[in-house]
Amino acid sequence: MSSYITDKAYINGVWCPTATTFEVTNPFSGEVIGKAANCDEALTKTAIEAASKAFVAWKGLTARERAVIFSKWTDLILSEKQALGELITLENGKPLAQSIGEIAYAASFVEWCLEEGRRTYGITVPSPHPSKRMMTIKQPIGVVSMITPWNFPAAMATRKACAALAAGCTVVLKPSEEAPFSALALARLGQQAGIPPGVFNVIPTSRANVAQVGTVLCTHPLVAAVSFTGSTDTGKIILKHAASTVKKVALELGGLAPLLVFDSCDLQKAVQGVMASKFRYSGQTCVCSNRILVQSGIHDKFVAALKDAMEKELVLGDGMKPTTTIGPLINEAGLRKVSDQVKDAIDNGATLVTGGQAVGRNMFEPTLITSVKTSMKCFNEETFGPLAPIYKFDTEEEALSIANNTDTGLASYLFSGDVSQCWRIAEKLETGIVGINEGLFSVPEAPFGGFKESGLGREGSTCALDEFMEIKYMCWGI
Ligand code: ADP
């Protein structure tokens, strides 16, 4: 077990016990890994009030002073990479090498944001009036509520929180009930690095309490903005709640990422692109390729090569074992969803190429199916599991029209050896992110976010802090 597991919440710089706790289980073994603090409405309000008080002093620091603390925080996180990685694997089953990779990724957001904090420039505006001078400054928005998911319990916490903290805001973060300990571990290291009390609060809560705690986080008058990562359905609830007091809202929601493979592509690059974009963390990322469209001329070769790579490279099992490359799904509901999509596809005429079975607790074999139709569930519901469904297409127009025929638009991928086609398709894909001959794109330097119902705003990049700042226009009479 991990020394980072705690049954306390972190509020106003204090590790607070709660009246009740809830159990967190290892999705691979089913063992209870620990009990987590179960915050309620009252504690949520306490955390928000603490964050509001702390805002006054935190925003008063210079960006450089905040950066000194962030720099220590980055070093502490990286020095604990192994232990924090193990904690992620215990909480969500991710293979350990990927969990340790997530910690490095999480630390990279702390580092990026500390640098960006020193670059929140305003502008001077050429005045249309001889008697006036005009300029803007950026100011932190205030207390920010954050709600994070279980699939990247460390990186989603730092991606959001560090942008807000670097902007001079204070934060109340509710981690997912499936994996609450990583955010608490980051708070512990933040405390050691010198983040003052009340600036970064972490309040886990059980599934039973989530609606009421979520409502307080999104409606409390002292909260200025809400940042959420999770399902589109929950995102819509958050947006509705936030509307009552017109809070600024950043949403990073789901998608149905299309991945297009054209006849001219480099076959191995395309196969590796699917391996990375589809099977990383068992297919449980919001940018996982969900609908794979392959042009008829390369279809059979591509399917054979993908099957080969899947059978050679994907070792299903306990994320703690060094040989495991694909772990369990987060819970039984996740397993049921993948099983249901595979059954629906097979019942409606798809061909099973490899996999297809649930095996052991929360585990599903990496699965490849062909002869997929656009009406099937796997083309219309986010899978969040290791299922690669292949649709065969003939023309570029057909592929684009299928790719864009969805209400969501987070990520897309295309593999082609024709540079003009790459430009053409990339410009026409209705998604916030396009991987061109590339299956992995997430870095703090680049913007992450979606079109359509995939969300509002961008995380990371030079836009990261803007989500948490107001622009103030000053007009001077001279
Ligand atoms: P998933 O089904 O993948 O867990 P969710 O959108 O339900 O996706 O969860 C993402 C985050 O949203 C988690 O932290 C979860 O606790 C939280 N959440 C779920 N329902 C609500 C709600 N009604 N209000 C606020 N947060 C919620």
* Residue ranges in the chain whose pLDDT is less than 70: none
Asked if residues 415 and 269 have their Cβ atoms less than 8 Å apart, the reply is yes
Q: Which residues contact 368 (CB under 8 A, 6 or more apart)?
A: 303, 306, 307, 310, 352, 353, 354, 355, 388, 390
pLDDT at 134: 98
In this structure, the strands spanning 408-409 and 32-37 are unpaired
CA distance 217 to 226: 8
pLDDT at 173: 99
End-to-end CA, the chain: 66
Helices (H), 350-391: 377-380
Whether residue 286 lies in the annotated active site: yes
The structure tokens 């994320």 sit at 319
Q: Which residues contact 260 (CB under 8 A, 6 or more apart)?
A: 293, 399, 400, 403, 412, 413, 414, 415, 416, 425
The structure tokens 């987070």 sit at 410
Paired tokens of 325: 């490359």
pLDDT tens digit sequence for 125-168: 999 999 999 999 999 999 999 999 999 999 999 999 999 999 99
DSSP per-residue codes, 104-145: HHHHHHHHHHHHHGGG----EE--SSTTEEEEEEEEE--EEE
HSE-up (13 A, CA, CB side) for residue 112: 26
Q: Is the CB of 230 under 6 A from ligand 1?
A: yes
Q: Is the CB of 176 under 6 A from ligand 1?
A: yes
CA of 230 to the centre of ligand 1 (A): 6
pLDDT at 1: 78
Q: Is the CB of 232 under 6 A from ligand 1?
A: no
Q: Of 210, 220, 332, which is best to mutate to test ligand 1, by the most ligand atoms within 8 angstroms of its C-beta? A: 210
CA angle 112/118/119 to nearest 5° reads 90
Superfamily name with CATH number, domain 9-253+454-477: Aldehyde Dehydrogenase; Chain A, domain 1 (3.40.605.10)
CA of 204 to the centre of ligand 1 (A): 12
Q: Is the CB of 231 under 6 A from ligand 1?
A: yes
Kindly tell me the burial class for residue 1, based on how many C-beta atoms sit within 10 Å of its own C-beta (0-12, 13-18, 19 or more).
Answer: exposed
SS3 for 391? strand
φ, ψ of residue 32 in degrees (nearest 5): -75, 120
Q: How many CB atoms lie within 10 A of CB 274?
A: 25
DSSP per-residue codes, 59-109: HHS-HHHHHHHHHHHHHHHHHTHHHHHHHHHHHH---HHHHHHHHHHHHHH
- Mean pLDDT (the chain) is 98
DSSP per-residue codes, 408-454: EESEEEEE-S-HHHHHHHHHH--SSEEEES-S----TTS-B--EETT
Whether residue 438 lies in the annotated active site: no
Q: Which of 86, 252, 365, 453 is catalytic?
A: 252
Q: What residue segments make up the domains of the chain, in order of their start? A: 9-253+454-477, 257-443
9-253+454-477 and 257-443: same fold?
no
> Ligand 1: which atom is nearest the Cα of residue 235?
6
**In the chain, % of residues over pLDDT 70:** 100
Q: Is the CB of 137 under 6 A from ligand 1?
A: no
CA of 401 to the centre of ligand 1 (A): 31
CA angle 210/43/93 to nearest 5° reads 45
Q: Is the CB of 234 under 6 A from ligand 1?
A: yes
- Please provide the size of the chain in residues: 478
CA distance 343 to 392: 20
HSE-up (13 A, CA, CB side) for residue 436: 14
pLDDT tens digit sequence for 256-277: 999 999 999 999 999 999 999 9
Distances (CA, A) of 131 to 135, 166, 473, 478: 14, 36, 16, 5
Q: Which residues contact 38 (CB under 8 A, 6 or more apart)?
A: 18, 19, 20, 21, 22, 204, 205, 206, 209
What would the CATH number be for the domain defined by 257-443? 3.40.309.10
Paired tokens of 138: 């950026």
pLDDT at 46: 98
CA distance 121 to 217: 29
